[in-house]
Amino acid sequence: MKKKLPSTSSELIDPSRANSLYQKVSAHIDNARQVVQRSIDLNMIKAYWLIGRDIVEEEQHGHERAEYGQAVLRNLSTNLRQRYQKGFGVDTLENIRNFYLTYQDVTSFSISESVLRKLENGGGEAKSEAVLRKSEIPAFPHNLSWTHYIHLIKVKRPEARRFYEVEASKNNWSSRELSRQIASMLFDRLSNSKDREGVLALSLQGQEINTAEDALKEPLVLEFLGLPERHYHVESKVEEALINNLQQFLLELGKGFAFVARQKRITLESDTFYCDLVFYHVILKCYIVVDIKTHVLKHADLGQMQLYVNYFDQEIKVENDNPTIGLILCTEKNEAMVKYTLGDKSNQIFAKKYQFHLPTEAELEKELKREVKAIQHLEDDKGSD
């Protein structure tokens, strides 16, 4: 019997192979578009820096009078909008001006009138000087957009701004995530237990994780849960809210956390216990057991966490894993009780406060003073022994 040939060209194509080809080609196109968009964004940021510099130089020519500066921006905005239709309102130009003032930490180079005349005449010497001026534009990260810089220029402390810029670039934060981390004062929460050298390293290198203390911040800010700031929440409800917002919770925990389990069951003969949340830290290479408490930290909470940590170390972790870390999230804690209860486990079990609203500078300053005072008391006790 003669074999029937496909009647149409579509019947010649294997659907699975066609879909595979489509996915590959689409990926190439998407990647190319992303590269092009990043290039456009980076070049626009450089252009904004140059525009900001020109605005500032013009204002300086007008002796930095406030009314002169505003007149410069209004006149420039009118002319630019006539040519480009939109995108260059006075507020935008003000942001561009502030952007330059924030990132002008390079040697300025002003073209003199003689150089301008050479440029008009096509002089080679002038062109080389113009290239020199262009080369002094700061090397901006390729993956930060103008919207990122709108948030960054609002951070007034240079060390904090450098930290957020480094972290946003290293972790590919969206501008929305950057805004949230600035609002939650991440830099202050990470630096409140560091010395001067530690704060400097944090601002220049971002968050480097070498110990458990490096990976943990305080307080943890859980405003994304939408829960009211009160201390009679049911622990299971807080845990459920964290699971329902797991992606945001992982971002708040910080880099390196990978979710493993919820309500991990531990059976010891006739007794059964449940760990609220279990994570694995891919940088520290260890399990992190999290217990959620909706009350002030108690002695029993520390004892329970010791049981969890010991169990994981003896029954769960494998040869290449580092010792398990226990993390108790509580509304308040007592440093002295933590020290004397944990003893040699104090570098393995941690109690950290959490809150359901974004912190203020006053709150963080108060918390820092409290931490310093508590540590000083512990040091005094140690010295008197």
Alpha-carbon span 343 to 352, nearest angstrom: 17
- The answer to whether residue 306 sits within a structural domain is yes
| Cis ω before 219 (30° cut-off from 0) | yes
Flag whether 274 is in a domain.
yes
* pLDDT > 60? residue 112: no
pLDDT at 237 over 80: yes
205 near 165, Cβ under 8 Å?
no
State the pLDDT confidence band at 130, using cuts at 50, 70 and 90. very low
Whether pLDDT at 5 is above 80: no
Q: Which residues contact 361 (CB under 8 A, 6 or more apart)?
A: 185, 188
pLDDT at 229 over 80: no
pLDDT at 123: 52
- 8 Å CB contact between 74 and 89: no
Write out pLDDT tens, residues 279-300.
999 999 999 999 999 888 998 9
Candidate from 126-135, 277-286, 317-326 with smallest mean pLDDT: 126-135
Most confident range, picked from 110-114, 192-196, 259-263, 332-336: 259-263
156 lies in a domain?
no
Residue type, 114: S
Which has more confidence, 336 or 150? 150
pLDDT in tens, 172-195: 999 999 999 999 999 988 887 677
The pLDDT, as a whole number, for residue 174 is 92
* Prediction pTM value: 0.73
CA angle 100, 105, 110 (to 5 degrees): 70
Q: Does the residue 5 lie in any domain? A: no
Number of structural domains found in the chain: 2
Per-residue pLDDT, averaged over 104-123, amounts to 49
Mean pLDDT (whole number) for 128-156? 78
CATH number at residue 324: 3.40.1350.10
Mean pLDDT of 155-175: 92
Residues 240 and 355 in one domain: yes
The predicted pLDDT at position 192 comes to 73
Q: What are the structure tokens assigned to 241, written together?
A: 């809210």
Q: What are phi and psi of 347, to 5 degrees?
A: -95, 10
Is 152 inside any structural domain? no
What is the per-residue pLDDT across 17-67, written as a single tens digit (0 to 9) for each? 778 878 888 888 888 887 777 778 888 999 999 999 999 888 877 555 667
Same domain, 233 and 129: no
In which band, very low, low, confident or very high, does the pLDDT at 334 lie, cut at 50, 70 and 90? Answer: confident
Q: Which whole-number Å values give the CA distances from 300 to 158, 238, 338, in the listed order?
A: 43, 20, 11
What pLDDT shows up at residue 65? 65
- Tell me, yes or no, whether 241 and 122 share the same domain: no
Taking every pair of Cα atoms in the chain, the longest distance, rounded to a whole number of angstroms, is: 102
Distance CA 184, CA 355 (A): 11
Domain span at 253: 217-363
Whole-number average pLDDT of the chain:
82
Q: What's the pLDDT score for residue 2?
A: 57
One domain for residues 127 and 240: no
Q: Which CA distances in Å does 370 have to 192, 252, 332, 352, 374?
A: 11, 23, 12, 14, 6
State both tokens at 199. 């704060």
Closest CA to 356 of 254, 255, 245: 245
| Tokens describing residue 109 | 């180079």
Question: 14 lies in a domain?
Answer: no
pLDDT band, very low/low/confident/very high, at 196 (cuts 50, 70, 90):
confident
Spatial neighbors of 284 by CB under 8 A, at least 6 apart, are 209, 211, 212, 215, 256, 322, 325
